[in-house]
Amino acid sequence: MARGDRPYGTFPHDGAEQPSVTPTRATLRQRFAPFARRTRPAQWFVASVVTAVVLIAVGTALLPRSAVITQTDVKRAVIDALASSTPKPNVAIEAYDRVKESVVAVRTRTGGNATPQPRGAGFILDTGGTIVTSLHILSDAEAIFVVFYDGAELQAQVLDRQPEFDMAVLGVSAGGRKQATLASAKNLRVGDEAMVVGSPLGLGNGLSVGTVSRLGTLVQPAWGGPPIGGLIQFNAAVYPGNSGGPLVNRRGEVIGIVIVAANELTGVGFAVPIDAAASVAGSNPF
């Protein structure tokens, strides 16, 4: 543009003082950056502390409140601990106590002897005076007597004989005594408790303890006759005098009628399942 074309006031004046240029003011971020770089470790430390405090506060808020333990709670805990450490009653003792009053000793008079001799055992089937025992112990008997738990002795009559189960049903004139509780042998398993209550050697109620060792055993009786099948085999000791007595489970329930071990062996016993015996007696509850 020519000098003449410039608007008035735009011509430079020789010798006039030119205005100074003011530098641009630094932004806040630019001024803070050096400080931030110098204090970065401290910033990380503070952030870590704050985070930890927050996490602790949140965790404490989420935790369930602690229950106040009272003296009653302490006593209850002590009682529970003592109860758990107390030995459980022996199952054999309980079983015997439940059946002992229902077991009888069987005596017979033979060969013109005046004094009855111990022959075996039996158990009370009902309160009417019906008693179950083994048939073979009654052989050659001229008179049969049963001795109850309380010592009372009564003469008995044979009401029924079942040779296939080696079983006899006796009756006495007086009833009202405690009858045995029966339990089906159908659910027995090898390893279940099996206890014999009888009159070994004629010495009154005695107990021997074992387990079921086999089911459905076929045995040739030592006293002769046809084999008897379907028997419960157990390992409780049996002796002369146990025959006819009950084989009971851990609850004292009769599950079988004991017959003396083949060849008089001890430690190997057999019993007729109570299901069959009760059916013969006409009193099968199963």
Which sequence positions are flagged as catalytic? 136, 166, 243
First to last CA, the chain: 132
8 Å CB contact between 241 and 282: no
| Phi, psi of 188, rounded to the nearest 5 degrees | -65, 150
For residue 85, report the phi and psi dihedrals to the nearest 5 degrees: -90, -5
Asked if residue 131 lies in contact with residue 149, where contact means CB atoms within 8 angstroms, the answer is no
Look at strands 167-172 and 246-248 and give their pairing. unpaired
CA of residue 163 relative to chain centroid, distance: 38
184-203 burial, b at 16+ Cβ within 10 Å, e below that, comes to ebeebeeebbbbbbbbbebe
- Residue 57: phi, psi to the nearest 5? -65, -40
Q: Where are the alpha helices (DSSP H) in the chain?
A: 28-38, 40-62, 71-85, 91-99, 274-280
* Contact assessment for residue 241 and residue 120, using Cβ atoms and an 8 Å cutoff: yes
Torsion over CA: 196, 200, 204, 206 (sign): negative
